[in-house]
Amino acid sequence: MKKEVKYLLGTLLVGIAASFAVYQFALKQNVNPQVKMETPAFPLITNLVTSHSFAYGPVDAKVTVVEFFDPECESCSAVAPQIKKEMKYYEGKVRWVFRYMPYHHNSRNAVAALEAARKQGLFLEAMTLLFETQHQWGEKQVSTKDEIVKIVTSLSGLNKAQFMKDLEDPATDEILIKDQTEGKQAGVKGTPSFFVNGVMLERLSLDDLIAKINAGLAE
């Protein structure tokens, strides 16, 4: 078989696999896959940064850190305080981007709350609060949407009426499908997973993350 034919066949198989992943996730989230596939794709900017992702830090930073996380993930919760410290330490030098990779029963509810809070400029505050209270609403086989809403709406300065409206925004499902699909294509198999300038950390290690950031800033 010629190289050109092998390449085309490989590309086709990758495309089919990606489409199937989107379809399967859509079914799990009770989303019509046909409708969602017809919506415009969020443009990929660079280093796994997309136009729909929450980002903190200068757009022209030499180093961009992308974290795929699940708000119901205990490991994500455990590492969050340190990531918050590093965000402060590298203020103005590093761009931090947060994308979703849902694995748990109430992940979708938590993501919807985060997105609703983000529309009011309270994404980081809501994420911190959900991690701190994860023991109250996480790791349960029943919906804890009401508990999540109660927790997030306790944030100072949040407009509850607007929050409740944004909580049902169908765009959240589009974001979840996009993040999960691109995350899997990039090699994400668990959370948290970190990428520094588009390169995934081989292991979950704060020392490795800092070393990669410093190396990128030194280039």
Q: Summarize pLDDT for 56-115 with one digit per residue, the tens.
A: 999 999 999 999 999 999 999 999 999 999 999 999 999 999 999 999 999 999 999 999
Give pLDDT, residue 51. Answer: 87
The arithmetic mean of pLDDT across residues 113-138, rounded, is 98
Whole-structure pTM over 0.75, yes or no?
Answer: yes
Give me the percent of the chain exceeding a pLDDT of 70: 79
Q: What is the mean pLDDT of the chain?
A: 84
The arithmetic mean of pLDDT across residues 121-129, rounded, is 98
Q: How far is the CA of 45 from the CAs of 41, 49, 121, in angstroms?
A: 12, 6, 22
Q: Per-residue pLDDT for 20 more than 80?
A: no
- What per-residue string of b and e applies to 62-73 under the rule 16 or more CB within 10 Å gives b? ebbbbbbbbbbb
* In contact, 196 and 48? CB cutoff 8 Å: no
Q: Per-residue pLDDT for 190 more than 90?
A: yes
Q: Which residue has the tokens 């020392």?
A: 207
* In contact, 168 and 182? CB cutoff 8 Å: no
Q: Which residue has the tokens 């919506």?
A: 39
* In contact, 106 and 138? CB cutoff 8 Å: yes
More confident call, 35 vs 195: 195
Give pLDDT, residue 50. Answer: 87
The arithmetic mean of pLDDT across residues 144-152, rounded, is 98
Give pLDDT, residue 16. Answer: 35
